[in-house]
Structure 1
Amino acid sequence: MSLYLMLTFFACASALLDTKDVVFVILSQENRYHLQLAENLKLDIYKQAERISKIHPIVHLSHSDFPHPGGWTVLPLIPRLANLHKGNSSWIFFLEDRTKVNLNVLLDKLVQYNSQKEIWIGHALYDKEASIIHHFAFYDDPAYFKYPNIASGFAMSITLIKRLAERIKKHSVPPSDFNIDNSHELALFVWNNGAGQMLEDEPTLCIKEEPQCAAFPTTFQLCGELVPKESIYFAVKTCHKYHKDRVPVVKSTWARHADTVRFFSDLEDASIPSVTVGIPNSEQGHCRKTVGILRHVAGEIRHRPQIKWIVVADDDTILSVSRMQQLLSCYNPDEMVALGERYGYNVQNINNHHGYNYITGGGGMVFSRSLLDELVKPELCECPSLTTPDDMYLGICIARLGLTVTHSPLFHQARPVDYAQGFLETEDAVSFHKHWMIDPINVYQQWFSHLDSASDITLHHNEL
C-alpha cells in the first residue's frame, strides 16, 4: 500500500472513531411516553459510541436543553447550537424520538463529506403534485424542491449551521406566522429562494430499515394492553348540510367499530341521531360550537367513569378505532394530555416565547378526561367569538394551563394523496382528513378497514 493510501486510510479511520465530531439533537417532547423514547434513543447512541471510541457524543433533548415553543420547527434551535458547538464539532445531526441510528454507518458516511462547506444531507422527499399542505409551492415543477424526512434523520455541517444562525439573528421575524410542516418549511428557509442550499439526498438515511442504513424511522409499537373501546368517546362535529353525504360515510366506516359515537350538529336529526348544543353553525372558526360540545360531553360522562379519552373529529375525518386503541395504550389518561397533529402559531421567533402550539382539528383532537375537566371551565376557556378558530383557541387554553400539546405523526390533516411518496410507509396512520376529490370509503378500506374488522373479531372471540 502506498504512503498516500495508508495516510488516507488512517485519516478516515480516525474520523470514524471520533464520535465527538457529531452533535445529536433529538426533537423531543415533554410527554412521558415521548420523553422515554428520547431517553432510550440517547442511551442507545451512548452505548454504540462506547463500542466505537469510548467517547460519548453530545446528545441534546431539544425540549429540555433548548426550551422554546417552536423548537420542533428547528430554526429557533440553530443560533443556540451555533454558539455551543461552533468550535467543538463538525456536524449537527437532527432526529426524532422514533429514529434508529447505526452510529458506525453514520460516522463512516459523514466522513465522506466536507464539513468545512455548507452542506446538509437527508432522505429527500418531494411532491409529485403541488400539495395543499405546502400551499401549492413549486406548482410548475413540484419534484424540483427537496425536503428531508426528519424521522430518517438529517445532518447539517457546522459551517452551514453558523451561516443560518447569522441569518436568523439578522432577520428575527419568522417567515410565516403559521407552522404546519417543519420539514418543508425548514427546507424553504435553508434554500432561501435559490440563494442557499438544496437538501442533498443521502441513500443511507433511509425511509425504512435496511442493512446499509445509517438512520431510519421505527414503526409504532404497542405499549401494553389495548385501550378498551368503551374508554373512548368519539364526538363528531357536523352540520345539517352534511347530514346526507358526510355523516353516512362516517356511520358506514369507522363509527361502526366504536363503542360511543355522538354526532353534534346545528340541527337535531332523529335519523342520525344528532345532538345540538344550541350554537348556530358558522362557515369558519367553530370555537363556541366545539367548546359547547366539550361541555356537553363532560356533563354526559360525569357518571361514566369508564370514559378515559375524548376524540373530537370532523365529519370528514377518516380514522381507525383500532389504531386509536393501540396508540392510546402509550398515554396516561390521568395526566392532562392533548394529542394529535401539532401546528404552531408565532412559534419561530427566537426573541420571544409567546407563540403557542395547537392540535389541528381535521386529523382529530384527543383529550384525556383529566384535561377535559379543565378545558370546560369558563374562566379558562371562553371563546371570544362564534367564529374564532376552535383548534387554535383550545391551544391557547392548554397553554394557559402551563401545558404543551403532544404531537403524534400518526394523525394527518390531509388526504393520503397529499403526502410525498414513501412518507407514509413507516407510519401506522391513525387518521386522514377531507373527502375532497377522493372516495373516502375507499381510503378507509385501503388503510383501516382490515384493522378495525380484525379487532372486532378478536374482541368477540375473547368475550366468548
Structure 2
Amino acid sequence: MYIKMRVLKIREISPNFEKYLLVDEYSEVNFDNFENFGSENIFIGYALKDKEPTIIHHFGFNLPESFEYPLLSSGILLSADIVNRIEKTKSNMKLPSFFIDAQHELAEFLYTNLQIKLTHFPESFCTFSNKIRSSKCFVTSQKSLSISTISEDDIHIKIKTHHGNHKTRIPIQKKTWTSNLKNLEYCSDFEDISIPTIDLKLGNTQRGHCAKTWGIMKRFNGSKWLLIADDDTLISWSRLKIFLSKYNPEDRVIIGERYGYGFDYDGNRGYDYPTGGSGMIFSESAIKSLLAVCPNCSSPDDPDDMMIGMCAQLADIPIIHSKSLHQARPEDYAEEYLDSQFPISFHKFTDTDPIKNYEMYLKTDKINDEL
C-alpha cells in the first residue's frame, strides 16, 4: 500500500507520462532494453507466489490460490490509465490499519478493486538468477554484499526473554548465532547465572513488552549500535556487520523491517515502525533522542515496536527499511524473494525448524564465500 500512495504522489509531480516504473535501491535498470510493452492496462513485473498461506499477507483471505504479486526490486511497470483509476477509486476504498508488504498490497488492491492482474514478464523484469539466462533484462534485482564490515565491538546485542523461555528458546539461539558473541545480554525477569541472564527488575508481560524494551534502551551505553532482538529471532552475525558498514553511526537512525500503521492516502496520518521480531537496530544518538521525547511507556504492555515508531515520528528519526530483516519464518516468503537478497534475520520458532533455517539461510563461514 505504500507503493500505491507513492504512485499517486508521483502522478501529482509528473502528470504527463504514459508509464511509471517503480524500483527500489536493489534495482539495476538498463534503458537500452526498454520495450514498448503497450500503452494501456499495463501492470508488468516478475511474479511471485506464496508457497502457503502466510501471516504477512493475512493468509490470502479473499484471494485465489493462483494470485501473483510483483518483486519490486525487479521493477514494476504501470501505465498512466491504471494510475488514474487508482486516483478515482481511492476515496471509496477503505485502507487497512496495518501496512506490511507493499508489493503484495499493490497487487491485491488492483486485483480486488480494478480487476487487474499482474503480467509475468521474466525476460525483461529479472531476478538476480535469471539475469544469467536473459540478455533482454530491462530491470534486474541485484544481489551483492559489501566487502566492508564493522568491528564486533561496535554493536551491543540485547535479547528480550523471560524465565519461561530460558530452557527452550535460548538453547536454540546458542546453537546457532549467539554462542561466541562478546557484547550480548539476555534481558529477562529472572537472573540465571548458568546462561547467564540479567534481571531488569521490570517483571514480565504477556504481550507488548514496552517496559522491557525501554529498560534495555536506558541500559545501553558505550557502543555505536544497539540491536534488540526477540528470543526467537535468528541473526546472521557476519552479514549484520557488513550491512551496518553502509551507515554512519553518528546519524540518528533506526533500522528494521518497516511496517506502517494508520496511514491515509495522502500520508498525512499514520507512522512507520520497525518490527520487533526482525530485530531492531538503533544508533546511539537515536536512542538518546527517543528517550528524550518518550522517557517511559504509557503502559508496560504497550506494543514496543509501535511505540518506537510513534516516538521516532515525534523525534523526527527516520525508520529505514531493510528487506533482509524478516518478521516471519522463511516459509512465509516466496522463494524468489529470498533469492533476491542475503537474509540477515528470521523470526519465530513455531511450526518450523529454526536450526535448519539458520543453517540454510543465515550461516556463513566466510564472507568471501558469498561475494
Q: TM-score, normalised by structure 2?
A: 0.93
Larger RCO (CA within 8 A; separation ≥ 6): 2
Amino acid at match of 1:391: D
* Paired position in structure 2 for 1:8: none
How far did 1:373 drift? Answer: 2.2
How far did 1:235 drift? Answer: 0.2
How far did 1:352 drift? Answer: 5.2
Within the candidate set 201, 208, 211, 2:120 is matched to: 201
The runs of 5 or more residues in structure 2 that have no matched partner are none
* Aligned residue runs from structure 1 range 158-177, under 5 A: 158-168=80-90, 170-171=91-92, 174-177=94-97
* Paired position in structure 1 for 2:289: 374
* Aligned sequence identity (%): 35
* Paired position in structure 1 for 2:334: 420
Amino acid at match of 2:201: G
Given that residues 130 and 139 in structure 1 are in contact (C-alpha distance below 8 angstroms), is that contact kept between their aligned partners in structure 2? no
* Aligned residue runs from structure 1 range 13-412, under 5 A: 73-86=2-15, 88-106=16-34, 108=35, 111=36, 113-115=37-39, 117-138=40-61, 141-142=64-65, 144-168=66-90, 170-171=91-92, 174-192=94-112, 195-203=114-122, 204-208=124-128, 209-210=131-132, 211-222=135-146, 225-297=148-220, 301=221, 304=222, 307-347=223-263, 349-351=264-266, 353-377=268-292, 379-412=293-326
How far did 1:426 drift? Answer: 2.0
How far did 1:354 drift? Answer: 2.6
How far did 1:351 drift? Answer: 4.2
Amino acid at match of 2:332: D
Q: Deviations over 1:123-169 (max 9, x none)?
A: 11111211121111158853x1111100101101111111111111x
Amino acid at match of 1:183: Q
User: What SS does the aligned partner of 1:255 have?
Assistant: coil
The runs of 5 or more residues in structure 1 that have no matched partner are 1-69, 456-464
Amino acid at match of 2:199: T
Q: TM-score, normalised by structure 1?
A: 0.75
Given that residues 51 and 331 in structure 2 are in contact (C-alpha distance below 8 angstroms), is that contact kept between their aligned partners in structure 1? no
User: What SS does the aligned partner of 1:423 have?
Assistant: helix
Q: Deviations over 1:94-128 (max 9, x none)?
A: 1102200111212x2xx1x331x322111111112
Given that residues 219 and 428 in structure 1 are in contact (C-alpha distance below 8 angstroms), is that contact kept between their aligned partners in structure 2? yes
Amino acid at match of 1:454: K
Q: Distance in 2 between matches of 1:277 and 1:251?
A: 21
Q: Distance in 2 between matches of 1:326 and 1:426?
A: 17
Given that residues 5 and 266 in structure 2 are in contact (C-alpha distance below 8 angstroms), is that contact kept between their aligned partners in structure 1? no
Amino acid at match of 1:91: K
Amino acid at match of 1:179: F
